[in-house]
């Protein structure tokens, strides 16, 4: 059954921590990826500790995007790297065996197999739907999830434009995790309602 993997908006303000806590308290969340693309490193060092603490005190894994070094320094539970963010081997050397390394694999079976062989803890496929959170250069279809889960034990994450209204095909295809950003934070009834909607979809309500 699919689990919810929250991703922060690319830019946050002083009110975001309260919104995050509301979302985390509304239903089951497995991981929080801190992805502050519109902030510089100084901002991230200032903003991330409270987000990490909010996640970890609730048993939610705190994962930083892009930088294994910074993820390690901030005490994160893992790092998520893209294809241009360095090698899995190097990230693993920094994060150690106890913390996770996830890899963006776009819509590529080859990249996913390479990441798995290199020792990634999960692979992420997408984008499955149009998204305003980041540029969509790669479009994935649900069959890549089905292919992956039938052949490999390594967990897979579906990402890209996912909402409670369009997630059902990805759940049916076998996604272990649904990575969601705007589908939570831009939900018309607020982030807590969005988390509850995902919980109902995944049978965890």
pLDDT digits (tens, 9 = 90+) for 156-197: 999 999 999 999 999 999 999 999 999 999 999 999 999 999
Domain coordinates of the chain in residue numbers? 3-202
pLDDT digits (tens, 9 = 90+) for 135-147: 667 899 999 999 9
How many Å separate Cα 15 from the centre of its chain? 21
Q: Does 50 carry a binding-site annotation?
A: no
Q: Does 34 carry a binding-site annotation?
A: yes
Q: Does 65 carry a binding-site annotation?
A: yes
Q: Which residue is it, tokens 């970890």?
A: 56
pLDDT given at position 134: 66
The CATH number of the domain covering residues in 3-202: 3.20.20.70
CB 176 within 8 A of CB 157: yes
Q: Does 203 carry a binding-site annotation?
A: no
Q: Does 66 carry a binding-site annotation?
A: yes
| pTM: predicted TM-score of the whole model, two decimal places | 0.96
């Amino acid at each position: 059954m699919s689990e919810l993997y929250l991703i922060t908006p690319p830019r946050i303000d002083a009110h975001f921590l309260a919104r995050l806590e509301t979302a985390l308290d509304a239903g089951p969340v497995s991981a929080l990826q801190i992805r502050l693309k519109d902030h510089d490193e100084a901002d991230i060092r200032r903003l991330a500790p409270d987000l990490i603490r909010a996640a970890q005190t609730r048993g939610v894994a705190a994962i930083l995007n892009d930088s294994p070094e910074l993820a390690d320094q901030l005490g994160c539970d893992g790092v998520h790297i893209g294809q241009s963010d360095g090698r899995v081997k190097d990230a693993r050397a920094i994060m150690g065996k106890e913390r996770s390394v996830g890899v963006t694999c776009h819509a590529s079976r080859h990249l996913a197999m390479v990441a798995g062989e290199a020792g990634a803890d999960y692979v992420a496929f997408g984008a499955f739907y149009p998204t305003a959170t980041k540029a969509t250069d790669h479009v994935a279809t649900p069959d890549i999830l089905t292919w992956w889960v039938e052949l490999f034990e390594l967990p897979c994450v579906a990402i890209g434009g996912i909402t409670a209204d369009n997630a059902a095909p990805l759940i049916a295809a076998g996604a272990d995790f649904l990575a969601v950003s705007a589908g939570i934070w831009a939900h018309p009834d607020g982030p807590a309602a969005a988390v509850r909607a995902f919980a109902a979809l995944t049978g965890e309500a």
